[in-house]
Amino acid sequence: MPSLFDPLTLRSVTLRNRFGVSPMCMYSSIDGHATDFHLVHLGSRAIGGYALVMAEATAVTPDGRISPDDAGLWKDSQIDPLARITRFLKQHRAAPAIQLAHAGRKAATARPWGHPHPNKPLSEGGWKIVGPSPIPFDEGYQVPHELTLPEIHQIQQAFTAAAQRALDAGFDILELHAAHGYLLHEFLSPLANHRTDSYGGSFDNRIRFLLETVQQVRKILPDSKPLFVRLSCTDWADDQGGWTLDESIALAKRLKPEGVDLIDCSSGALIPRVAIPAAPGYQVPFAHAIRKDANIPTAAVGMLTDPHQCAAIIADGQADMVFTARESLRNPYFPVHAARALNARDKLHLPDQYLRA
């Protein structure tokens, strides 16, 4: 029976335990460049015992940012600030990971604080946005430009170029963001994708953009480097014809032979005002179903704050890893506290400076 504190090997990367930090937008970059804030923010979680520390959604193009304050990897000058972070994470036995993303029709918004409206006007540094179809996310949002086939291929090339920069920056694990209503997710869901060409309509067509992107990124990744994909496993809108768990399972079955090593199982955020039964562990069944039915490792996420619950998720085979987001913001040392609560302190290796705490 596996434990939260057992190592997990994915390709040549061995994680010291099953705790991971989910990618969380910090809206604190300058022209896409990481700052001292990011070094301290991510580094403190490595010292706190997390085996995997994932940098936030990092845009592969300038217009793929959620906000002007987002992280990016669309140019070479963004490599060195991230390399400083990966070196620190590795010094403290955390595998550095990064999530590559394009915000699609949810781009060009203001950061969550200090602005009365989500869309950032062009006069205030906003930009024109793109998507699979000219369908805005919500009232008051821009209508996205419908991507042409050459533009789709340009974005795929941007993912590949960003992946190479991520390798140059020292990241051990890459994740493609196909969740939360951003571009790759928008192509998956019939609620955002009304195309009639080879990238819309049927299931095979709607998953094409993601599959091709995975194939192209995997080609440049060494065999030793794991590749993750984050999915919104459901749109929570089955009655409206949205993306479903069954489709996520079918997609995971297609991703595994393409070289994807783990599915990061989240949900929702494609459309506003849907009923989501949020509660501790509410998304764990998605990780369990995909792990069991697609035979691929998964990470469970979503309001996981209780060490005993996290331990049960791993011990019961519901997921291979537990990723925390808000809990890691509240408590960068959550793995340390979990080890104490589960009488497993001897299994959590901390820096010498912290052993007596």
The catalytic residues are: 182
Indicate the angle between helix axes 284-294 and 245-255, nearest 10 degrees: 50
Residue 300 · residue 313 · CB < 8 Å = yes
Over the range 334-353, which residues count as b (16 or more CB within 10 Å of their CB) and which as e?
bbbebbeebebeeebebeee
Distances (CA, A) of 188 to 10, 75, 234: 26, 28, 11
Dig out the tokens for 255 from the structure.
């991703």
Which of left, alpha, beta for 37 (phi over 0: left; psi -120 to 50: alpha)?
alpha
Q: What end-to-end distance do the CA atoms of the chain give, in Å?
A: 30
- Residues contacting residue 265 through CB under 8 Å, at least 6 positions apart: 230, 231, 233, 248, 283, 286, 287, 290, 298, 299, 300, 301, 319
What are phi and psi for residue 194, nearest 5 degrees? -110, 25
The DSSP letter of residue 109 is: B
Nearest to 299 by CA among 282, 280, 314, 315: 314
Question: Is residue 94 within 8 Å of residue 131, measured between CB atoms?
Answer: no
User: Tokens 């297609």 sit at which residue?
Assistant: 254
Rounded Cα gap, residues 142 and 129, in angstroms: 7
